[in-house]
Amino acid sequence: MDIVIEGMTKTYGIQKAVDDISFKVKTGEVLGFLGPNGAGKTTTMKAITSFLIPDKGKIFIGNIPVLENPLEAKKHIGYLPENNPLYEDMPVIDYLRFCAEIENVPKDKIDDKIRSVIKTCGITKEKHKKIGELSKGYKQRVGLAQALIHDPEILILDEPTTGLDPNQIVEIRELIRNVGKEKTVILSSHILAEVEATCDRILIINKGKIVADGTVEDLRKQAQGSEILKVTVEDGDINDIFTALQSLDTVETVDFIDKSTQTFEVKSKTGQSSRKAVFKLCVEKGWTLTQLSFVETRLEDVFRELTVNN
Amino acid sequence: MKEILTIAKRELRAYFDSLMAYILIVLFLGFSGFFTWIYGSDIFFIKQASLEVFFNIAFWTLFFFIPALTMRLLSEENRAGTLELLLTKPVTDWQVIAGKFTAALALITITLALTFPYFITVSSLGNIDTGAVFSGYLALILISAMYISIGIFASSITNNQIVAYLTALTIGIFFQVIFQMLASAFPGTLGNIFDYLSVYSHYDSMIRGVIDSRDLVYFLSVTFLALVSAETMLLKKRYV
């Protein structure tokens, strides 16, 4: 099932949380929803799950209009809200049973379903504990388990890895990757590495507007106007090397990265490459070139560029 | 309907798991038992085989206990954020409200059922009017339904349980006492209106064994109105 949002606007008081955004998520796609705090990620997700009613715009889940028919739309959605609210005084297994019943899982399949999500989410040992007694990572897994209990076609995950330790983050990511193979997933985060590792497509939102939309590669290319090289040269005087690099035709700027190892960052002019020139220069001067590599624009830079300047 | 029962079942379990249910049952039986059988103008004093004394005590005990039962139903879920999760499951706001209402009413019904030995005792002492006992219990259940729905409404307007408790009591005291006082203060139509709004005038005829459709309509419509108001409050949250 795909998700279509058309011209959605939501205002809190005088502040526009989401300002006329439109996008589409295709079936089977894992969409990463990025943006600084307060950009409108959570608002958008709440609107898709029909918890919030937008002022303007349309939302479709498959062919179901969410605003007109929320009950039908909700059946196809598994939702993990921000901060993962759960009934803390219920044992895990009872809670999952409650969720299965309320999601209309047929009676004879409830036990199987519970068993399978407990296995997928890795909470077998914790299933009889009260939710309130679990650590944050396990609570998060219970949150995911309840979202998966009715095998929904759409998963909406609002910051699924906040507060987890690095091992747990890797495990949850893998889990999302696995379930994301057959489902349409929207996942919000402000951890860029996470989005990079789990998502097919990225949507960056800032101040209620979409500022970028594409795969990780697309976004990199978009931000990376000019080639940046990392150059290490042994022998020779550091200042000589600096001036020599600076004087190359194709080079725009040169920066020191590490003076002790004589490593430089060389930024070429837009659309030009300095690799050959750097190599030839070293040969000419008899310097030993020990490193000549591309610096990839990191997603962090793309993110900062898009969300700070605007 | 199935959804309402699923929610009700969970709430009822939560009452028993949190000891709330046991505390309510023990306190209710303790209070009503003490004042019915031991203290003051007790059941032996009136020299009639009747449960009227018990009904009059339950009338007040329920008034104070029910808001304690309902105060957390929506306020706590709203504070913890679980309301968001519940409302994004395939259920309507009305089903959530009705489920919670059913759970609280079921707990009150269980509590009242535990006073059944009172009936057995009194009927062994004399010739008891079974019809009056039946309509008395019915009155208590209807009053409970009404105060539960007022309590749920109070719980829907705040995130704070204490505020919810006090709001429910404040609304409740109008029906319990103030309308009655106003009815005797104002003559004519206005007095009649206040008299109709007062719980006591409906309750009083019912414990004497008279079941009038006017009384049923009164209790059911106040209950329904309060539940619809609570539903409206839930809907309002979505438009923030």
In angstroms, the CA A307 to CA A22 distance is 18
Question: In this complex, do B90 and A74 lie within 8 Å of one another by their Cβ atoms?
Answer: yes
**Of residues A12, A71, A72, nearest to B240 (C-beta):** A12
A89/B80 touch (CB, cutoff 8 Å), yes or no:
no
B76 at A interface, C-beta within 8 A = no
In sequence order, which residues have a C-beta less than 8 Å from that of residue A204 and are 6 or more positions away?
A: A34, A35, A210, A211, A212, A213, A219, A302, A303, A306, A307
A89: nearest CB among B2, B18, B239:
B18
At A297, is the pLDDT very low, low, confident or very high (cuts 50, 70, 90)?
low
Task: Look up the domain containing B221 and give its range.
Answer: 2-40+47-237
Same domain, A229 and A173: no
Nearest-neighbour CA in chain B from A71: distance (Å): 5
Would you state the pLDDT for residue A298? 66
Q: Does B130 touch chain A (CB under 8 A)?
A: no
Domain match, A278 and A139 both:
no
pLDDT band at A223 (very low <50, low <70, confident <90, very high): low
The answer as to whether A164 is a domain residue is yes
DSSP letter, residue A292: E
Chain B, 132 to 191: residues with Cβ < 8 Å from chain A are: none
Is the per-residue pLDDT at A225 higher than 70?
no
- Total domains in the fold of chain A: 2
* Cross-chain residue pair A85–B80, CB shorter than 8 Å: yes
Q: B69 CA to chain A: closest CA distance, Å?
A: 17
Kindly state whether residue A246 falls inside one of the protein's structural domains: yes
Task: Identify whether residues A141 and A202 lie together within a single domain.
Answer: yes
Q: Does A53 touch chain B (CB under 8 A)?
A: yes
Spatial contact of B75 and B158, defined as CB atoms under 8 Å apart: yes
What's the mean per-residue pLDDT of chain B? 90
Are the CB atoms for A82 and A190 separated by under 8 Å?
no
Count of alpha carbons within 13 angstroms of residue A177, beta-carbon side: 12
Residues A39 and A176 placed together within one structural domain of the fold = yes
- Each residue of A113-164: pLDDT tens digit? 999 999 888 888 888 999 999 988 889 889 989 999 998 999 999 988 877 7
- What is the ipTM, given to two decimal places? 0.88
Whole-number pLDDT of residue B230: 95
* Domain-located, residue A47: yes
CA distance B16 to B143: 23
Q: How many CB pairs under 8 A join A and B?
A: 63
Give domain status of residue A115, yes or no.
yes
What pLDDT is stored for residue B153 in this prediction?
96
The Cα–Cα gap between B173 and B163 comes to 15
A79: nearest Cα among A186, A170, A194: A186
Q: Phi/psi at A189 (nearest 5 deg)? A: -170, 160
* Final residue in a domain of this structure, among A156, A190, A222: A222
Both structure tokens of B145: 């339904």
Looking from the CA of A76 toward its CB, the CA atoms found within 13 Å total 21
Query: What does the block give as tokens for B131?
Result: 């019809």
Q: CB distance A90–B14 less than 8 Å?
A: yes
pLDDT of A310 over the 60 cut: no
Residues A289 and A245 in one domain: yes
pLDDT, residue A227, reads: 75
| Claim to verify: residue A242 and residue A163 sit in the same structural domain | no
Coil, helix or strand for A224? Answer: coil
Same domain flag for A68 and A53: yes
Output the domain CATH number for residue A180. 3.40.50.300
Biggest distance spanned by C-alpha atoms of chain B = 61
Residue A192 reports pLDDT greater than 90: no
Is residue B1 less than 8 Å (CB to CB) from chain A?
no
Give me the sign of the Cα torsion angle B87, B92, B93, B98.
negative
Q: Compute the distance between CA of residue A96 and CA of residue B46 in angstroms, rounded to an integer.
A: 54
Looking at residue A295, the DSSP 8-state letter turns out to be: P
pLDDT computed for residue A40 by the predictor: 87
> Is A307 within the bounds of a domain?
no
Who wins on pLDDT, B231 or A163?
B231
Q: Which residue has the higher pLDDT, A247 or B169?
A: B169
Verify that A67 and A114 share a domain, yes or no. yes
Q: Which of A222, A240, A255 is the last residue of a domain?
A: A222
- Phi then psi for residue A161, to 5 deg, are -115, 10
Task: Note whether residue A302 is domain-resident.
Answer: no
A207 plus A276 within the same structural domain: no
Does residue A265 contact residue A229 with C-beta atoms inside 8 Å? Answer: yes
Q: Is residue B81 less than 8 Å (CB to CB) from chain A?
A: yes
Considering the domain boundaries, does residue A23 fall inside one? yes
C-alpha closest to that of A75 among A142, A175, A1: A1
Vertex A75 angle, CA A93 and A190, to 5° = 80
Residues A189 and A278 occupy one common structural domain? no
pLDDT tier, A44 (very low <50, low <70, confident <90, very high otherwise):
very high
Residues 16-75 of B with CB under 8 A from A: 17-18
Longest Cα–Cα distance of chain A, Å, equals 80
Tell me how far apart the alpha carbons of residues A238 and A264 are, in angstroms, rounded to a whole number: 10
Residues A51 and A139 in one domain: yes
- Per residue in B64-101, pLDDT (tens digit) is 999 999 999 999 999 999 999 999 999 999 999 999 99
Q: Is the dihedral of CA B125, B130, B135, B141 positive or negative?
A: positive
Residue A309 domain-assigned (yes or no): no
pLDDT tens sequence across A18-28 = 888 999 998 88
The predicted-structure confidence for B9-52, as pLDDT tens digits, reads as follows 999 999 998 888 999 899 999 988 888 888 776 677 777 777 88
- pLDDT confidence bin for A259, thresholds 50/70/90: confident
For chain A, the average pLDDT equals 86
Segments forming the whole domain that contains residue A248: 225-297
Cβ–Cβ < 8 Å for B234, B97: yes
Residues A67 and A213 both lie in one domain: yes
Based on the structure, what is the number of domains in chain B? Answer: 1
Which two three-digit tokens encode residue A37? 């705090």
Q: Which residues between 241 and 300 in chain A have a beta carbon less than 8 angstroms from any beta carbon of chain B?
A: none
User: Of A222, A248, A274, which one is at a domain's C-terminal end?
Assistant: A222
